[in-house]
Amino acid sequence: MGIFQPHRRLADEGGTVIRSINDVDVRGKKILTRVDFNVPQDEQRRITDDTRISESLPTIESIVSRGGIPVLMSHLGRPKGRRDEKYSLNPVAERLADLTHREVLFAPDCIGKEVEDLVRTAEPTQIILLENLRFHAEEEDNDPVFCKSLRGLGDVYCNDAFGTAHRAHSSTSGVAALFDTVCAGLLMLKELQYLGSALEKPQRPFVSILGGSKISGKIDVISSLLRKCDSILIGGGMMYTFLKAMGKEIGTSIVEEDRIEIAKTLLDTARTLGVNLAVPVDAVVADSFSNDAKTQMVDVDHIPSNWMGMDIGLSTVEMYTSLIANAGTVVWNGPMGVFEMPNFSHGTRAVANAMAEATRKGSITIVGGGDSAAAISQFGLSTSVTHVSTGGGASLEFLEGKTLPGVAALNK
Ligand code: AMP
């Protein structure tokens, strides 16, 4: 199931176009490319999931196969502006060489004379990977001098790191302004295409599912989606702030007291706009925050004191899965319960299954990164939905309708 056309230029709201790497003549040129190689690693620094590397391969191949040299730059973890071997991209360079079957030259830093020499003498077919950008505090400060140093490492700028596009850093924003030719990588374009068409011209009914622990980070996205969706289905820890706003007792469930008023406002706005802002009708509650806790299923008018809500209940699952089954477009962000504990993963799994089923029947289904991406991968359903975004924070900000600095920088 796909709506992605990699060769199409992508128009933003202002009518300008974002150029695809495929439309840039790269032969003999160095393409300074921001990628997101912020991969998870275990204690021995072994990469535990290389999805982020493999997702960038189409862009890298597009450059190398046409005679260009990719000069890749990324961050890894939070080294706090200092060199720290724990956060070196060296293991990524090795994995990249395995995945591409090409020679990867790993630079000892991301700026400086030695790096400049390495870039200057590199040959077509080789790939350069710079050391972690965040070994320099100037990366996150969007520092003009640092940007200038990076600028010297390429002839063309390309951004394929959707996951960091919501940050105005040197490598995502400042450096782009110094290039005449800027473009988007194929992963970036794919993300913008899927999320953009879901928001701009959704097949209806358009259903959003929002969960996760807290309402605080998602107020703006709920407000914005209220103006676009036919239904918004609430789950996860944030449902208890809504239930409290509706005057219900929620036992010891997670709640944000200072967000109760805003939850009331959101419920009122939904009523005014005629949007179905659905709050669960039942929940699985537990006597402690543990997989082995005692549990019971209760309707939301009867949550016992000293018990906490850990998952949505069966009636809610039925209600939500039937809305998903009839949707034209579904966007999901945030688990329905504490899915990391098997006894409280049922609601999240049911939503994931319903999305897979809806996809089979022709709906556009999008998972917005972060914990929901982890959940859908845990259930083995990542390839059964239309699109799983690689950017948690970035996809949320995109759904809020914000302009992402990393995307704005590509509008020339
Ligand atoms: P977020 O980072 O806000 O997207 O939240 C994701 C986290 O929310 C996951 O780790 C879930 O375990 C957690 N979560 C989901 N439902 C609940 C709940 N009912 N109580 C506490 N945490 C929850």
Cα 336 to middle of ligand 1, angstroms: 8
pLDDT of residue 10: 57
pLDDT of residue 11: 53
286 pocket-lining for ligand 1 (C-beta < 6 Å): no
Amino acid at 181: T
Top mutation candidate among 254, 338, 351 for ligand 1, by most atoms within 8 Å of CB = 338
Q: In whole angstroms, what is the distance from residue 328 CA to residue 324 CA? A: 8
Q: Superfamily assignment of 10-190 in CATH?
A: Phosphoglycerate kinase, N-terminal domain (3.40.50.1260)
- What does pLDDT average to in each consecutive run of 10 residues of the chain (412 residues)? 41 67 98 96 92 95 98 97 97 98 98 98 97 98 98 98 96 98 97 92 96 90 95 98 98 97 97 98 98 98 98 98 98 96 98 98 92 92 94 90 94 83
From the CA of 217, give the closest atom in ligand 1: 3
Q: Please indicate whether residue 370 is annotated as part of the active site.
A: yes
Domains in the chain: boundaries: 10-190, 202-400
| Active-site residue identified among 235, 237, 368, 370 | 370
Cα 42 to middle of ligand 1, angstroms: 23
Beta-carbon contacts of 272 under 8 Å, excluding residues fewer than 6 positions away, are none
From atom 11 of ligand 1, which residue's Cα is the shortest distance away?
338
Cα 237 to middle of ligand 1, angstroms: 5
313 pocket-lining for ligand 1 (C-beta < 6 Å): no
From the CA of 212, give the closest atom in ligand 1: 5
Exposed / middle / buried, residue 269 (Cβ in 10 Å: 0-12, 13-18, 19+): middle
Beta-carbon-side half-sphere exposure of residue 77 (alpha carbons within 13 Å): 18
Quick one: residue 380, left, alpha or beta (phi over 0 = left, psi -120 to 50 = alpha)? left
164 by DSSP, 3-state: which? helix
From the CA of 240, give the closest atom in ligand 1: 19
Q: Using an 8 Å Cβ cutoff, are 152 and 183 in contact? A: no
Q: Please indicate whether residue 294 is annotated as part of the active site.
A: no
Q: Please indicate whether residue 214 is annotated as part of the active site.
A: yes
Angle between helices 260-273 and 219-226 (to 10 degrees): 10
Q: Please indicate whether residue 228 is annotated as part of the active site.
A: no
pLDDT of residue 14: 47
Q: In whole angstroms, what is the distance from residue 397 CA to residue 403 CA? A: 8
338 pocket-lining for ligand 1 (C-beta < 6 Å): yes
From the CA of 311, give the closest atom in ligand 1: 19
| Active-site residue identified among 52, 190, 228, 259 | 52
Are 10-190 and 202-400 the same fold in CATH?
Answer: yes
89 pocket-lining for ligand 1 (C-beta < 6 Å): no
16 pocket-lining for ligand 1 (C-beta < 6 Å): no
pTM above 0.85, yes or no: yes
Q: Superfamily assignment of 202-400 in CATH?
A: Phosphoglycerate kinase, N-terminal domain (3.40.50.1260)
- Any idea of the CA torsion for 245, 246, 248, 250, to the nearest 10 degrees? -40
Tell me the three-class secondary structure of 187-213, residue by residue. Answer: HHHHHHHHHHHHHHCCCCCEEEEECCC
DSSP state of 342: G
